[in-house]
Amino acid sequence: MADRVHSKLLRSLTLLAIYLGIAYLWPAPAGIRPGDWRLFAVFMATVSGLILQPLPGGAVVLIGLTAAAVVGGLSIKGALESYGDPTVWLVMAAFFISRALLNTGLARRIALIFVRVFGATSLGVTYALALSDVTLATIIPSNGARSGGVTLPVVRSIAELYGSLPGETAGRLGTYLMMAVYQSICVSAAMFLTGQASNPLVAQMAAQQGFEITWTSWLVAGSVPGAISLAVLPRVVMWMAPPGIQRTPEARVFASAELARMGPMSSAERILAVIFVGVCGLWATSGWHKVDITLTALIGCAALLVTGVLRWEDVKTETAAWDIFIWYGGLLRLGKALNEGGVTTAFAKSVGAQFGDAGWVWLFAVALLVYFYAHYLLASITAHLLAMYPPFLALLVLQGAPLGLVVFAFACFTNFSAGLTNYGTTPSPMFFAHGYVALPLWWRVGFVCSLVNIAIWSTFGFAWWKWLGIW
């Protein structure tokens, strides 16, 4: 207990030192007001707090937002204004819909249906669970809820069907499934605006640069490179860690038995299925009817509440959603304030000056690789985005790089960089903790899959985006 208190105190003092060092020892760039520079110091201490975690993330951001109002030149009204931002409520509404998907069992039913259809081989099981995650990623912004609450229990159950347990028998099937499915869910997070909770932050940052991202435009951009990655990665993992069991007919039998045990779709599931399809359909066609996607999500929530599929108690107790509401809204405001104060632009100009006449292509390639592999040092996609996305975006745009290419490349690469380690995003420790994969193998697979993803997205992906006119 004493060691834990000492560790938290040390981390808290580290955050204070970061603030004081930036605010009072590091000279502010020319043209940056003292208040904006102190705000930058608060922001960096807050992002560092998300990494060091002396307190839960929401608490760290709330303290940072309060500090911004005290020393960063923001009024209290200005500091809190992002809690009314539609993007924040889009994420909240998606979380509430995802709670209904989990509570009714519809999310599990979707996963089992895919396994029943495609699960005749170990490769087919991986594809089935990847497809179920892709389906759920259209509306569930929590990769932890999708994979930890739905996919992971199915993976463990299928491995145990074949007597594959942590230890000597892990290699029969469990080792392969754990790694192949995990690498797949990192890709599905990159394919949708709702694929991961911090993806809408990217849309906000891009909008500040004048590039609009919609749910449909992200879907279209991520579809081709994402589909190729999802097709290739399970085969790469199979080459590196081939399972002892290749044929898995019992997986289909298991899925059929579980579906039979669940029985026919309940009335709640049928109502939810209609609302699920309706919300996704309206999101996909928002460019035609111009209904805001946040309003669509809230209409979906209202329909679930009116029909009783979602109870108000479910909304009140959805702690993950309310936690995100605090840190997401707070970070959104701090990021906007830094942009308004010109801090990110000043950083871009100072870094850009170091590269002289180097063309944007060379700078883009180097920056993207540095940005990607920096995730070895991070345990949060959100912290990665907040710390590095805005300055790299500003720098490359200043150097003449196509805005759309930079926006989507850095956004998507952030998500599948989580596949590098066993702590790269929320689901990774969940998968690793089951004990099927040794740490050296997890890291080797993660590195090789990172090379494969980079190769796919920087060739097929960039070419696809060029054809779409994104750049």
As a whole number of angstroms, the distance between CA 205 and CA 417 comes to: 20
> Are 49 and 155 members of one domain?
no
> Are 54 and 98 members of one domain?
no
Residue 103 lies in a domain: yes
Residue 343 lies in a domain: no
Residue range 43-68: average pLDDT?
Answer: 88
Residue 444 lies in a domain: no
- Model pLDDT, residue 348: 66
Q: How confident is the model at residue 188 (pLDDT cuts 50, 70, 90)?
A: very high
Residue 108 lies in a domain: yes
State which residues form the domain around 218.
86-319
> Are 285 and 157 members of one domain?
yes
- Model pLDDT, residue 28: 84
> Are 112 and 70 members of one domain?
no
> Are 16 and 105 members of one domain?
no
- pLDDT tens digits, 319-370: 888 988 888 888 888 878 887 887 777 776 666 666 656 688 988 998 899 8
- Model pLDDT, residue 352: 63
- Of 354, 359, 352, the residue nearest 402 (C-alpha): 359
> Are 193 and 286 members of one domain?
yes
Residue 310 lies in a domain: yes
> Are 219 and 288 members of one domain?
yes
Q: Supply the mean pLDDT for the chain.
A: 89
Domain stops at, among 281, 300, 319: 319
> Are 160 and 266 members of one domain?
yes
Residue 65 lies in a domain: yes
- Model pLDDT, residue 448: 97
Give exposure, 100-119, as e/b (b: 16+ Cβ within 10 Å).
bbbebbbbbbbbbbbbbebb
- Of 108, 114, 106, the residue nearest 131 (C-alpha): 114
SS (H, E, C) the chain: CHHHHHHHHHHHHHHHHHHHHHHHHCCCCCCCCHHHHHHHHHHHHHHHHHHHCCCCHHHHHHHHHHHHHHHCCCCHHHHHHHHHCHHHHHHHHHHHHHHHHHHHCHHHHHHHHHHHHHCCEHHHHHHHHHHHHHHHHCCCCCHHHHHHHHHHHHHHHHHHHCCCCCCCCHHHCHHHHHHHHHHHHHHHHHCCCCCCCCHHHHHHHHHHCCCCCCHHHHHHHHHHHHHHHHHHHHHHHHHHCCCCCCECHHHHHHHHHHHHHHCCCCHHHHHHHHHHHHHHHHHHCHHHHCCCHHHHHHHHHHHHHHHCCCCHHHHHCCHHHHHHHHHHHHHHHHHHHHHHCCHHHHHHHHHHHHCCCCCHHHHHHHHHHHHHHHHHHCCCHHHHHHHHHHHHHHHHHHCCCCHHHHHHHHHHHHHHHHHHCCCCCCHHHHHHCCCCCCHHHHHHHHHHHHHHHHHHHHHHHHHHHHHHCCC
Domain stops at, among 287, 319, 351: 319
> Are 311 and 262 members of one domain?
yes
Number of domains in the chain: 2
- pLDDT tens digits, 431-470: 998 889 998 999 999 999 999 999 999 999 999 999 999 9
Mean pLDDT lowest for which of 72-81, 253-262, 349-358, 419-428?
349-358
- Of 451, 471, 418, the residue nearest 217 (C-alpha): 471
Angle between helices 403-416 and 439-456 (to 10 degrees): 160
As a whole number of angstroms, the distance between CA 447 and CA 303 comes to: 44
> Are 112 and 240 members of one domain?
yes
Residue 372 lies in a domain: no
- pLDDT tens digits, 357-415: 668 898 899 889 988 998 887 777 887 887 788 888 888 888 889 999 999 999 999 99
Give me the percent of the chain exceeding a pLDDT of 90: 47
- Model pLDDT, residue 27: 87
Domain stops at, among 285, 319, 353: 319
- pLDDT tens digits, 238-279: 999 999 999 988 889 999 999 999 999 999 999 999 998 999
Residue 459 lies in a domain: no
> Are 274 and 140 members of one domain?
yes
> Are 66 and 99 members of one domain?
no
- pLDDT tens digits, 123-174: 999 999 999 999 988 888 878 778 877 788 888 889 988 889 998 899 999 9
